[in-house]
Amino acid sequence: MTTYGITDEGFVAKTLAVIKEEVENAILAEWPNARLDAPNIFGVLNGIFSDKHTDIWELMEDVYNSQYPDTAEGASLDNVGALVLTFRLAATKSTVTVTVTGTNGTNIPAGTLFARTDSEDDVYETLSLATIAGGTADINCRAVSTGATPTDSVTVIVNAISGLDTVATKASTGVEGRAIESDAVYRQRIKTNNTISKRGTPQAIRGAVLELNDDPVTAALGTITDCFVVENDGDTTDATGRPPHSFETYVIEQGGGSALDDDAAQAIWDAKGVGIQTHGDVANSNVVDDQGISRTVNFSRGTEVPLYAEITLTYGSDYPTDGDDQIKAAVVEWGNALGAGVDALLNGTNGIVDAINDIAGVVNISILKIDDVTPCVATTYYDIDDGTSGDVEISTWATARITVSSTPA
C-alpha cells in the first residue's frame, strides 16, 4: 500500500486517478448502486471534487518543496537563502564614462540622457553636472535600466542641449550591470556557502570575502566578482614568490575597483588561521583584531580577462524572434559565473555549448570560438591562470563582445 504525504522518501502526492478511485469507493460504500459514469450526478461531482483535491495535494507538494534549495524557486528560494545568510544578488546598472564635445562653458545637467547607436532603448543618464572646457568634458553615466546594458557606442544625444555637439564612449571605462541573479546560480551559491568551514581553510577565507556581497552595507559599495585563495604550505618560497607557510588571497572586485579593500582585508583576517602570514601586492593596514590591535593584511587583486565569443548556428521553427540576444545573455550569465582560475571551455561539462543549447530551437552550431582578441582564434578552450604560474585570472563577459550569426536550418 502506497503511503502519501511526508514519507521516508520525501513528499508523495496523491494523483488525480488515486483521488478519483478513493472518492468512488467512498460513494459506493454509502450508495452501492450509485452510477459513477460522467453523465450521472455522482460521476460529475466525483470529477469536480477530485480535481479540487488534486489542486490541494499539488499545493502541499509545492509548500514542501519550497523549503529546500534544490526545489525552491523565486521568493521561496530567497527565504531558504536567508536562513543561511546567503542573499540573492540584486540586479545592477551598467556604468560608463562618456566624452562630450561642444562649446566651452556649456553645462550638461545631471540626468541628461544619452543612448547607444544601435539601440535607443539602451539609455544612460549623467550622474552629475559637467561643464565643457577646452572643447570637451568627461562625464560619468549610469544606465537607466538594470541588467547587462552594453557600454560601447554611446553616441546618441537624447536631450538636445545648445552647445553640446557630440557624445562618445570613453575607451575602457564601461562596466556592464547584471540581471538579478537567476535561481540556478543563486541555488549553487547557497550550497557552496553552506558547505564551507568558517575558519582557517582556503574555502573559509574565500567564503568570508564573498559574504561581503550578502551584506547590504558593503554590497552598496561594490561587488566582489570572485575570490581565489592560493596557499604555500611548504618550507620554501614557491615559484611565484609566496613565502613558506603563507597564502595569497585574490580579491576581484567588479570593474577592478578598490572600494571594498578594507572590508575584504578584515574578512581575510577574521577567517585566517593563527600564525599563517598573508601575502600579496596590496598591503592593507586598516584591520583591527578583536583585541583592538591594528593588523596589516596583504592580498592581491587578480586579473580580469575580457573574452570574446563568435557563434554561428542554424535554427528551427521554435527559435525565438530575439534568439540571438537570448544566446548572448545566456553566454554572459554562464561566463561570469565560471569564477576565478576556471578555464573557459567550449564543450564538455559546463562548456559554453550548454549555455547556447539552453535556448530553444538551436539546431547546429557550426562555428564556435572564444578568445581575448577579436576576431577570435581559439576553438577548444581559453586558458585561465589559477595562480600556479602567475596571478590568478578571471574571465569577464559582456554582450557587446559576443557575436551571434544565425540562419534558418
pTM equals 0.56
d(CA 89, CA 87): 6
Residues whose CB falls within 8 Å of the CB of residue 73, separated by 6 or more in sequence, listed in order = 66, 183
Nine-digit cell string for 7? 514519507
Domain boundaries, the chain: 5-65, 93-169, 196-301, 305-408
- Compute the distance between CA of residue 41 and CA of residue 34 in angstroms, rounded to an integer: 9
**pLDDT (tens digit per residue) in 306-341:** 999 999 999 999 999 999 999 999 999 899 888 889
Q: Nearest 5°: phi and psi at 385?
A: -70, 130
Partners of 345 in the beta sheet?
381
Omega of the bond leading into 375 within 30 degrees of 0 (cis): yes
Q: Are 190 and 86 in contact (CB under 8 A)?
A: yes
Q: pLDDT value at position 387?
A: 82
pLDDT reading at 370 higher than 70:
yes
Q: How confident is the model at residue 349 (pLDDT cuts 50, 70, 90)?
A: confident
CA distance 266 to 112: 39
Place of cell 454509502: 30
Q: Grade residue 213 by pLDDT with cuts at 50, 70 and 90.
A: confident
The alpha carbon of 235 is separated from its chain's Cα centroid by a whole number of angstroms, namely 39
Residue 372 in this model has a pLDDT that exceeds 60: yes
Higher pLDDT, 116 or 379: 116
Rounded CA-CA distance 219/213 in Å is 5
Q: Which residues, in sequence order, are CB contacts of 295 under 8 Å at separation 6+?
A: 269, 285, 287, 288, 289
Question: Is 196 a residue whose pLDDT tops 60?
Answer: no
Residue 342 main-chain phi, psi, to 5 deg: -110, 125
Which of 249, 240, 304 is closest to 280 using CA atoms?
249
Instruction: Find out whether 281 and 374 touch, Cβ atoms under 8 Å.
Output: no
Q: What residues contact 17, with CB distance under 8 A and at least 6 apart?
A: none
Strands (E), 19-59: none
Mean pLDDT of 359-370: 92
On the question of pLDDT at 67 being above 90, the answer is: no
Q: Across the strands, what pairs with 313?
A: 365, 406
| Inter-residue contact 288 to 295 (CB < 8 Å) | yes
Span 280-286, average pLDDT: 93
**Sorting pLDDT into bands at 50, 70 and 90, what band is 195?**
low
Residues 227, 232: Cα–Cα separation, whole Å? 17
- Cα–Cα distances (Å) from 197 to 16, 117, 246, 298, 369, in that order, read 46, 49, 19, 22, 38
pLDDT value of residue 194: 67
Sign of CA dihedral 151, 157, 162, 167: positive
**Helix, strand and coil percent figures for the chain, each rounded to 5:** 30, 30, 40
In 3D space, the residue among 309, 359, 314, 349 whose CA is nearest the CA of residue 332 turns out to be: 309
DSSP 220: T
Single-letter residue type at 48: I
Provide the pLDDT confidence category of residue 199 given band limits of 50, 70 and 90: low
**Strand 246-253, strand 277-279: pairing:** parallel
